[in-house]
Structure 1
Amino acid sequence: MKKRFFAAAVTVCLLLGGCAGNKVMIPYSSDTNSMTLAELDKGGESQLFAADLSVIPLGDDKGADAKLTAESVLLIDSTDNKVVYADNIYQKMYPASITKIVTALVALKNSDLEDIVTISHNAANIKEPGAKLCGFKEGCTITMRELLTAFLVYSGNDAGVAIAEHIAGSVDKFAEMMNEEAKETGATHSHFVNPHGLHDDNHYTTAYDIYLFFNELVKNYGSFVDIISQGIVKIEYKGPDGSYASRTFSSTDRYLVGTQTAPEGVTVIGGKTGTTGLAGSCLVLYSEGENTHKYISVILKADTGDALFLQMNELLSKISQS
């Protein structure tokens, strides 16, 4: 935990262009906001932080590619923790279903994958027009592993409500947990009100914060990487009467279902898409280059799905140049 408070402190300092004096005001922590850098550095916290993350100071954008017209774009070599490309990465953005990676992080920390989740009336009756649903009925039971798989691969919003209610008792309480996780991760420019990303003006993040969440997941949760790398999944569960049921879902990631090909020398491992009218078309990916380095790429608010994947290919092509 101390390491994460340090991460948040360093992030804020760098965003402000440097720390004046030796005092660091650490956000979200009333009992540590008077610690000095020297105190924080005892035990090697600064070295631990530097080894885990790429820190990009405000104004250090490296974006200059006219083909990358999305609102916010980021590519990081997560093996060496170096920025390859960055443009407008601290701009407040709506994440749409990329929100689901934050939900997954909270779920993996606060539940067991073999937990049995019961689908509630609320989860089974999302009425928002255009909301993507797995179609689970009230009273169905399913393991957390299967539910997270449907949630991340197919992007079913009903699965998100079920996860939230199982862990926190309500969507509102779960959103509080998401915001606490954002504080711990150092994602100081994010705020969430639901587990799925259906639009709310007070539900936002940045490309850099998405990197922080995604980096935490891919480096510490192999189960998450296993789930997001699947193109087609068969989800098994029990109906309200206890009978066996199953559904087959395809990934929303075009790379995984074969409708988009990555640039030569790049292997897409997995990722998460997101789309709403106000968020535009969004994508975060985990990929590997020919040098065996792993990369995290983020594109937020492309105009269309086609434009999103064309621009992601342009961004991934920079891996061979890094």
Structure 2
Amino acid sequence: MQLRSEAAVLMDSTTGAVLYSKNGNEKMYPASLTKIATAIYAIENGNLEDRVVISHNAVNTEGTRVYLEEGEVVTLHHLIQGMLINSGNDAAVAIAEHIDGDIEKFSKSFNEYLKKQIGVSNTHFSNPNGLYGEDHYTTAEDLAKITNYALKNKVFKDIFGTKELVWDGLSWDTTLFTHHQMLKGEVPYSGITGGKTGFVNESKQTLATTAENGNMKLTAIALKADYKRDIYNDTKQLLDFGFQHFKTSYLPKAKTFTVNDKTFQPEKSIVISEPLEGAVYEVTKQGELKVQTQNQDTIQVVQLKRVKEREEEPVSGEPETEDPFTRMNSLFGTIVVMAAGAVYKVTKRKRK
């Protein structure tokens, strides 16, 4: 695959398996893809019906806006819509100030949330909107993790997939349209379910896209392309690669694997990503199941549990445990023998 974007990751939205990576763990500047993280943070840490009073600081935020007015009152839910659909930097700042009081406190709480709740390892955000800063960075893989986590939330998923929305602002009444050309239909591709665009000079073009077909759901992240046409072509290549080579399937709990005379199995039925041409399973002696392609590229690792072996036979001198029916039959046999003996004695006396 020849991608023009400097970094890219294709991930199974359901399992989190990385199906393709180009510089997936390299430090990158995300631009407005930051707002994906801000949105889920606000949804999970705020009340969507809260009425937010817009500050002077939010109104004077540079970049793309939804033209909020100082003193205007907008619900948190509506601000998240304006931030994701129209990429409103002013809405992002208003959200951060409402949740945590100011940008500095927001950044501290925000980064702790991303690490503890989502499990990112190479991300640090210093603002809620993605404006450039040396200490505002992430990776393609972390962004895919954040997007997959957010997609589990229905409110986020609905907004992320919104193509247009009536915006009834104090000074700006309009219809907002998503900036994502594949979601909007300007760049045709079947199965697109959501998306977010980004651009600042330092990060160049950035793009997050989700799509699905009958076999699986995919999350594609592409970072630092020079032109929009390049980043959309890269995204189409990523999605084509995923849909043409992989599927999401189930590994049943009853499935067992044996290695070095040890047997392992899943603790429960789990969802896995598999190559369409068939998966190769490799199990380590620690019980890690590696799901691999035919070329032995690992796409997912699942921890299995060891199956307990049958208890050993009791050693000589130890009493064996009988089942209830054996004990009952033995007792019945003893009673019959005793009864027979009694009858014999009675009969013998009578003969005398």
TM-score above 0.5, yes or no: yes
Residue 182 of structure 1: CA displacement? 2.0
1:193–1:81: structure 2 CA closer, same or farther, 3 Å change rule? closer
Report the equivalent of 1:89: 24
Aligned amino acid, residue 130 of structure 2: G
Select the residue among 163, 166, 176 that pairs with 1:234. Answer: 166
Aligned amino acid, residue 114 of structure 1: E
Residue 238 of structure 1: CA displacement? 4.9
For structure 2, which runs of at least 5 residues remain unmatched after alignment?
247-352
Instruction: Show the 5 A alignment for 1:249-264.
Output: 249-262=176-189
Distance 1:80 1:102 in 2: 19
Report the equivalent of 1:159: 91
1:81–1:166: structure 2 CA closer, same or farther, 3 Å change rule? closer
Q: Percent identity, please.
A: 38
Larger Rg: 2
Do structure 1's residue 269 and structure 2's residue 193 form an aligned pair?
yes
Do structure 1's residue 199 and structure 2's residue 199 form an aligned pair?
no
Distance 1:167 1:238 in 2: 22
SS in 2 for 1:216: helix
Aligned amino acid, residue 283 of structure 1: L
TM-score by length of 2: 0.67
Higher RCO (CA < 8 A, seq sep 6+): 1
Select the residue among 168, 171, 174 that pairs with 1:247. Answer: 174
Distance 1:226 1:316 in 2: 21
Distance 1:212 1:83 in 2: 10
Do structure 1's residue 280 and structure 2's residue 204 form an aligned pair?
yes
TM-score by length of 1: 0.73
Cα offsets for 1:206-238 (capped at 9, x unmatched) = 01111111111102x100010011111112355
Alignment check: 8 A CA contact 1:115 1:144 kept: yes
The count of aligned residue pairs is 244
Select the residue among 231, 234, 240 that pairs with 1:317. Answer: 240
Report the equivalent of 2:350: none
Aligned amino acid, residue 275 of structure 1: F
Alignment check: 8 A CA contact 1:289 1:320 kept: no
Report the equivalent of 1:57: none
Distance 1:80 1:124 in 2: 40
For structure 1, which runs of at least 5 residues remain unmatched after alignment?
1-64, 240-244
SS in 1 for 2:98: helix
Distance 1:124 1:74 in 2: 35
Do structure 1's residue 171 and structure 2's residue 95 form an aligned pair?
no
Cα offsets for 1:118-142 (capped at 9, x unmatched) = 111011112x4xx111111101111
Distance 1:182 1:307 in 2: 30
Report the equivalent of 1:13: none
